[in-house]
């Protein structure tokens, strides 16, 4: 039976009319099933109609006259699946295709009624709805009136009841993600994790309340909503207890077990009546837990700043009241037109705690600034102390190094003299052992000096075309004996069609040091197999030099540490035969000066590969033929030696005399300057000195001042004197000063071969 609803008054006498009486029937309106009278707003539960289900609402509007302007039908609560027909004309249909119930929210709708739709007399309204289980089933009263008068109020209502809470909750969910990021940065602040998780879950769930439809299966969505309630309760309890400074260690795991049990239990009860039974059990437990949390939070908040107390009281209390209201909304005690309160209260609790965090942030920033000032003062004080200690250390090392280098240089020269003598085999064996020990000591001191010079910036790079074949030949000469002694093959390989004069643009001295250190290191750590130095083209303008070995290999966690000073792989006992741990540190610093980088690839037990790239430079060079060394390479030369250490002074004199030179020695520079006028007057020009060898650190005038003074004297006589300054200094300032002087400097200790090479180079420069 169709109940006809009559509007009150004439159509032109009232701007709008409200329809509260209608009929309800199961199924679609086209099915014409049995109808029952209902009063809007209605509740399906009162009519024994349970969602999800399809129903038909019918009503009538009486119009005294057919309107001449457009009207509208406003329904503030209508499911997302609906179809509206007026006088047999279908005005709107939303998501009614097929038979699935996809309605998620009940939302306000304003349906335009064109002028020719409403007629004078009775006007039939039919509304097909598909109602899901996520909202209380039923619709609100219908209001009809001119659309121009209804539009503004409808838009305001939609903004307040849909747009505002949905936007606020999505914003809160997004901002809560930053709290989770803050927790990831500070894992100890668990309160960030609990509050961030609470706001993300609760706000996302609230925003989903306003979706018109959803395509997921209804049982899955129902289970997700129940699970979100369980997770929200867990985060609420954990956050509240953390905020109240309650120890969670005893209750956190039982809480987790309870939440997981609810989630798994609800999944097992999916799409069955048992899920509602589980709700009856779970929701009271959640409500009781919420009461305890709210009490704890409020008690703690009122012990702090009053602003924090107000917001941290309003937020949790308001949220709890809103949750209680929304729970009652599922019962017949509240009208279907009531709104959910939780979407409005959730942003309040977030704002309250956000203000609390802001206050903590400001306090922390102030504390950080004060601590930063204190820390800077302490750092400045500690820096001054370290600078003083570093200066003391530098002075001590310079003095100690100088004192160590003096006897070491003397011992090296004396051992070289011994090896030139014809002695019994037993004595020769002892001499060789002594030479090996001195070589180890010299290696340590030279390495320390090289590190000091590199750190002091005293090494000047001289880029020029360098023939790789010459560099490899020099490396082979120095390292082949070490490889042969261990039965290793030392090979050098060039690219195909490279030619004998492949050149690179680099510093010849520095690249020789890099390659020699890398080859020596490879030989030192290889027991069997060999060492390969290979050159590969890398692009059109670069060459890559790779040093391969079949040694012990380097573990990945040690491949950066090997470039540190004194670090050695597998040499905790400090076996002297494996070096001292400075070679690779020198290699990395030297390569950096060249603008290049040394890389390493290695497998433990299989070997290693060190590589460095250099710029290619195609220049045709001819290899000079090295003259053969005579038996007395310094014959006919006059050498003056100034050295305060008597043993080293004698060793130098004996060595130069064995090379055929005429030698005069002095213990200090002042003694030489005192004799200089008489020496110049008593000797002919051809008998004057060719080379002056002087120590840098001398009593009184130092070696640099002495060499400059004597050069000035001899220059007036038309004689060019070449000087060689020998020094054992490691002080970076002194090293830089010596390198800037323009004089030739040779570091102590040194072997006789190196001394001879330097003296011959000076003589050739003088002859040129």
H-helix segments, 100-163: 147-158
pLDDT at residue 565 in the model: 63
> Does residue 717 register a pLDDT over 50?
yes
pLDDT at residue 20 in the model:
92
Q: Which of 91-95, 244-248, 415-419, 444-448 has the highest mean pLDDT?
A: 91-95
| pLDDT tier, 455 (very low <50, low <70, confident <90, very high otherwise) | low
Highest mean pLDDT among 31-40, 321-330, 393-402, 645-654: 31-40
Alpha carbon of 471 to those of 150, 456, 502, 584: distances in Å? Answer: 94, 26, 11, 19
* Res 322 pLDDT > 50: yes
DSSP category for residue 103: B
Q: Alpha-carbon distance 666 to 662, whole Å?
A: 14
| Angle made by CA atoms 265, 267, 272, in degrees to the nearest 5 | 95
How high is the pLDDT of residue 623?
Answer: 45
Least confident of 232-236, 237-241, 288-292, 763-767: 763-767
Spell 44-78 as b/e; 16+ CB within 10 A means b: bbeeebebbbbbbbbbbbbbeeebeeebbbbbbbb
**pTM strictly above 0.75:** no
The pLDDT assigned to 398 comes to 57
Q: Give me 353's structure tokens.
A: 């705690």
Tokens standing for 472?
A: 């490899």
Residue extent(s) of CATH 1.20.1070 domains in the chain: 160-366
Cα–Cα dist 29/703, whole Å: 116
Domain 160-366 has CATH 1.10.3210: no
Residue intervals in the chain for CATH 3.40.50.2300: 402-458+632-768
Confidence of residue 5 (pLDDT cuts 50, 70, 90): very low
Residue 498, classed as helix, strand or coil, is coil
- Fold classification of 402-458+632-768 is Rossmann fold (3.40.50)
- Calpha distance 623→469 (Å, rounded): 9
Per-residue confidence (pLDDT) for residue 732, from 0 to 100: 67
Check residue 602 and give left, alpha or beta (phi > 0: left; psi -120 to 50: alpha): beta
**DSSP notation for 64-80:** SS--SS-EEEEEEEEES
pLDDT digits (tens, 9 = 90+) for 92-118: 999 998 888 888 889 999 999 998 899
**Among the listed ranges 226-235, 319-328, 460-469, 569-578, which one has the minimum average pLDDT value?**
569-578
Segment of 158-162, 258-262, 615-619 carrying the highest mean pLDDT: 158-162
Query: Lowest-confidence range among 280-289, 479-488, 495-504?
Result: 495-504
The tokens for 665 are 């020695």
- Residue 255 reports pLDDT greater than 50: yes
Rounded mean pLDDT of 338-356? 80
**What is the average per-residue pLDDT within 742-765?**
76
Integer distance in angstroms from the first to the last C-alpha of the chain? 129
Q: Is the bond preceding 733 in cis, omega lying within 30 degrees of 0?
A: no
pLDDT band of 205, cuts 50, 70, 90: confident
Answer yes or no: is pLDDT of 42 > 80: yes
- Asked if residue 458 lies in contact with residue 732, where contact means CB atoms within 8 angstroms, the answer is yes
Q: Is the pLDDT score of 621 beyond 60? A: no
Q: Which residues contact 87 (CB under 8 A, 6 or more apart)?
A: 117, 118, 119, 123, 124
- List the single range of 91-105, 125-139, 342-356, 456-470 with lowest mean pLDDT: 456-470
Domain with CATH 2.60.120.260 in the chain: 17-158
pLDDT attached to residue 107: 93
CATH code: domain 17-158 is 2.60.120.260
Q: pLDDT grade, residue 12 (50/70/90)?
A: very low
Weakest-pLDDT range from 11-20, 202-211, 311-320: 11-20
Give CA–CA dist 53/33, Å, rounded. 14
In tens, the pLDDT along 656-666 reads 888 888 888 98
- 525 and 552 Cβ atoms separated by less than 8 Å: yes
Task: Read off the pLDDT of each residue in 449-465 and give the average, rounded to a whole number.
Answer: 64
Examine the pLDDT at 573 and tell me if it is beyond 60. Answer: no
Q: What percentage of residues in the chain have a pLDDT greater than 90?
A: 14
The answer to whether residue 756 scores a pLDDT higher than 60 is: yes
Where is average pLDDT lowest: 276-285, 398-407, 498-507, 689-698?
A: 398-407
Of 460-469, 492-501, 579-588, least confident by mean pLDDT is 579-588
Most confident of 575-589, 646-660, 724-738: 646-660
542 and 613 in contact (C-beta within 8 Å)?
A: yes
CA distances from 531 to 245, 472, 575, 590 (A): 66, 13, 21, 22
* Average of per-residue pLDDT across 207-235: 86
At 607 the pLDDT is 87
- 333: helix, strand or coil: coil
CB 676 within 8 A of CB 664: no
In angstroms, the CA 325 to CA 319 distance is: 10
CATH fold label, 461-615 = Heat Shock Protein 90 (3.30.565)
At 705, list the tokens: 């001042």
668 contacts: CB under 8 Å, gap ≥ 6? 642, 644, 698, 699, 700, 701
């Amino acid at each position: 039976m169709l109940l006809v609803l009559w509007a009150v008054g004439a159509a032109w006498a009232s701007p709008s009319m409200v329809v509260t009486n209608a009929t309800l029937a199961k199924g679609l309106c086209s099915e014409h099933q049995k109808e029952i009278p209902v009063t809007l707003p209605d509740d399906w539960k009162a009519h024994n109609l349970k969602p999800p289900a399809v129903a038909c609402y019918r009503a009538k509007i009486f119009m005294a006259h057919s309107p001449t302007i457009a009207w509208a039908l406003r329904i503030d609560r209508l499911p997302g699946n609906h179809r509206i027909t007026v006088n047999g004309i279908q005005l709107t249909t939303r998501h009614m295709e097929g038979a699935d119930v996809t309605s998620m929210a009940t939302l306000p709708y304003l349906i335009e009624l064109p002028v020719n739709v409403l007629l004078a007399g009775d006007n039939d309204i039919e509304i097909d709805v598909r109602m899901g289980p996520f909202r209380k089933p039923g619709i609100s009263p219908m209001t009809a009136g001119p659309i121009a008068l209804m539009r503004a109020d409808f838009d305001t209502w939609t903004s307040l009841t849909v747009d505002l809470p949905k936007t606020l909750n999505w914003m809160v969910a997004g901002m809560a993600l930053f709290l989770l990021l803050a927790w990831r940065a500070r894992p100890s602040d668990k309160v960030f994790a609990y509050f961030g998780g609470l706001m993300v879950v609760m706000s996302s769930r609230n925003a989903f309340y306003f979706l018109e439809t959803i395509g997921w299966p209804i049982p899955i969505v129902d289970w997700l909503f129940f699970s979100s309630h369980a997770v929200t309760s867990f985060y609420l309890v954990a956050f509240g207890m953390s905020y109240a400074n309650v120890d969670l260690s005893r209750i956190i795991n039982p809480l987790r077990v309870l939440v997981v049990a609810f989630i798994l239990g609800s999944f097992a009860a999916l799409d069955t009546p048992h899920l509602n039974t589980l709700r009856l059990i779970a929701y009271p437990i959640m409500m009781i837990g919420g009461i305890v949390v709210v009490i704890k939070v409020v008690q703690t908040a009122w012990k702090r700043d009053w602003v924090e107390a107000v917001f941290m009281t309003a937020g949790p209390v308001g949220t709890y009241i809103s949750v209680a209201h929304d729970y009652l909304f599922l019962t017949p005690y509240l009208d279907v037109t009531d709104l959910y309160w939780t979407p409005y209260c959730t942003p309040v609790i977030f704002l309250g705690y956000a203000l609390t965090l802001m206050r903590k942030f400001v306090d922390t920033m102030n504390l950080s600034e004060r601590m930063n000032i204190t820390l800077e003062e302490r750092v400045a004080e500690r820096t001054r102390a370290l600078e003083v200690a570093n200066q003391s250390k530098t002075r001590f090392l310079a003095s100690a190094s100088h004192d160590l280098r003096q006897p070491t240089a003397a011992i090296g020269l004396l051992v070289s003299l011994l090896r030139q003598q014809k002695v019994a085999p037993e004595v020769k064996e002892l001499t060789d052992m002594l030479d090996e020990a001195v070589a180890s000591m010299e290696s340590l001191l030279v390495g320390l000096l090289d590190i000091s010079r590199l750190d002091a910036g005293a090494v000047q790079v001289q880029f020029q075309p360098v023939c790789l074949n010459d560099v490899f030949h020099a490396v082979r000469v120095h390292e082949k004996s070490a490889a042969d002694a261990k039965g290793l093959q030392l090979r050098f390989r060039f690219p195909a069609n490279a030619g004998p004069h492949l050149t690179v643009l680099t510093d010849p001295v520095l690249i020789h040091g890099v390659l020699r250190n890398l080859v020596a290191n490879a030989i030192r750590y290889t027991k069997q197999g060999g060492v390969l130095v290979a050159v590969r083209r890398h692009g059109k303008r670069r060459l890559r030099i790779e040093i391969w070995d079949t040694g012990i290999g380097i573990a990945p966690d040690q491949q950066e540490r090997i470039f540190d000073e004194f670090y050695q792989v597998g040499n905790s006992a400090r076996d002297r035969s494996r070096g001292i741990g400075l070679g690779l540190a020198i290699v990395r610093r030297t390569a950096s000066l060249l603008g290049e980088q040394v890389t390493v690839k290695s497998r433990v037990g299989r070997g290693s590969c060190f590589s460095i790239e250099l710029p290619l430079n195609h220049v045709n060079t001819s290899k000079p033929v090295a003259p053969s060394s005579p038996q007395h390479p310094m014959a006919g030369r006059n050498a003056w030696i100034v050295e305060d250490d008597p043993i080293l002074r004698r060793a130098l004199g004996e060595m130069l005399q064995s090379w055929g030179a005429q030698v005069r020695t002095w213990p200090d520079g002042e003694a030489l300057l005192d004799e200089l006028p008489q020496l110049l007057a008593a000797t002919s020009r051809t008998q004057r000195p060719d080379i002056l060898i002087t120590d840098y650190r001398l009593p009184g005038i130092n070696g640099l001042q002495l060499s400059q003074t004597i050069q000035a004297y001899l220059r007036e006589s038309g004689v060019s004197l070449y000087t060689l300054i020998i020094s054992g200094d490691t002080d970076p300032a002194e090293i830089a000063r010596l390198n800037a002087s323009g004089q030739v400097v040779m570091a102590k200790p040194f072997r006789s071969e190196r001394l001879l090479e330097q003296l011959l180079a000076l003589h050739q420069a003088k002859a040129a």
